Amino acid sequence: MIASKHVRLVLVPLVLLVCAFAASCGGGGSSNISPDASAPTAVVQPLPLPGPYAVACSNVAQDFDQVEDVTNYWEGTGHYVRDLLTDPGNTLIATVTAPQDSNLYGDFAGQPVEFVVLVFYPTTADNPRPDYPLPTGDVVPHMQTESEAPLFADASTHYPVVVFSHGFGNSPITSEDYISALSIIASYGYVVIAPFHGDFRFSDLNIDNLGDAIEVASHLDNFTALQALRPLSISAALDLVLAHPQWQDHIDETQIGGFGVSMGGETMMLLGGAGLTTSYFDIGASWKQVTRDTRIKAAVGYVPYFGQPILPAFGRDQEGLDGINLPFLGISGTADTVAPIRETEIGMSRLTGVRRLVALSGVTHGFDDASTNDIFTWTLTFLDAEVRGNPEAISRLSTMGSVAGGGDDSVLLY
């Protein structure tokens, strides 16, 4: 799903130092972590997956002929998905003009950047539109073509929204896991808005040799730009859909939440006003707020990236999270060395809003099949409670300590 089964590291050359120091700095394990004594302990039954609604998606028609690796386009390696679109006039495309701030946006300061946007939404059980096959063997469900409008399950309903941010170097359709995540959330009655971040357009963090490492080290400002542009692309995608004549009358603008994976979890925090680390050789002594989108009422991060022990994502000791009141659910693996649960705990401890950190025992940085029901039962319960204000979900969340069956999940921070 999610952080991709072929995990890419989310750091630059410093990752080499991070790996060397992780054990001594407390990252990547759970041996020094104990559950909050006041945390609730009720075991709840998992929600049925998928939910009650069939799911459809917006137009993302592409020309796959003579393209050796479509994922390069989806993920921004040398190309971008915009170049593959066969019907760009009917595809959702948001544009962000990066602010004139080289500390945050590096070479991209002041430059316009396009982001292709995909939307999953609840549709009728008898939606006649076919699934759209991808060269990877996956499909996107009931895709609109040409100028077709969305076919909602109930055209008179205003649906809540979830903005979706994928992991570093991935895309909303890179894997079946991502498509499944988008579909499951939409099947519970959410309109899910997911931009293709195209991370490799801004900074290629794949380090295959010393020359690559030197090149990346000399362009660390663009690694910051990559991170800073992500929340701006989410806000721009949200602006686009809320104003679009095919969508605007079917969305509840007062009920907007978020779901982010790995670096997408960091993106959710940045949307909430968190300060982003802008210095790399002094353990994050400098940080700066990127944005604050007050429309986001609450967010979930799966294996959320809060940085590494010697390079926290939100400034030294995660100081950039002080006073952030965005309600946040973190779901982390205790064996995750890419996004160590200890860093997530430190960061979330600084939050002032509703917060819950759930530990998945033994889970590394990626989607854990055994924990599928746990992940989405926690996610949907939290979103239903904090975004929809559903009384039943609020009650269930207040006593919820774990989900029956599946993996070993428990509340770490309450």
End-to-end CA distance of the chain: 26
Strand blocks (E) in 108-172? 112-123, 132-133, 139-140, 159-165
Per DSSP bridges, beta strands 159-165 and 287-289 are unpaired
Residue 217 identity? A
Over the chain (414 residues), the average pLDDT of each successive run of 10 is: 42 38 37 58 96 98 93 96 97 98 95 98 98 97 98 98 97 97 98 98 66 55 93 98 98 98 98 94 90 98 94 94 98 96 97 97 96 98 98 97 96 92
| CATH at 228 | 3.40.50.1820
Residue 177 identity? D
pLDDT of residue 254: 98
- Among 185, 48, 31, which Cα is nearest to 121's? 185
Q: How many domains does the chain have?
A: 1
Residue 269 lies in a domain: yes
pLDDT of residue 16: 33
Residue 7 lies in a domain: no
pLDDT per residue as tens digits for the range 15-67 = 433 333 333 333 333 334 444 557 889 999 999 999 999 999 999 999 999 89
CB 385 within 8 A of CB 379: no
Per DSSP bridges, beta strands 112-123 and 92-97 are antiparallel
| Residue 388 structural domain | 14-413
CB 303 within 8 A of CB 339: yes
pLDDT per residue as tens digits for the range 144-155 = 999 999 999 999
pLDDT of residue 215: 54
Residue 8 lies in a domain: no
pLDDT of residue 310: 83
Residue 4 lies in a domain: no
pLDDT of residue 212: 46
Q: Is 19 helix (H, G, I), strand (E, B) or coil?
A: helix
Q: Pull the structure tokens for residue 191.
A: 């309109």
pLDDT per residue as tens digits for the range 169-185 = 999 999 999 999 999 99
Q: Is 11 helix (H, G, I), strand (E, B) or coil?
A: coil
pLDDT of residue 12: 39
- φ/ψ bin of 258: left (φ > 0), alpha (ψ from -120 to 50), beta (otherwise): beta
Considering just the CA atoms, what is the radius of gyration of the chain in Å?
20
pLDDT of residue 84: 97
Max Cα–Cα distance, the chain, nearest Å: 58
Which residues does residue 400 pair with via DSSP β-bridges, in sequence order?
A: 42
Residue 6 lies in a domain: no
Residue 5 lies in a domain: no
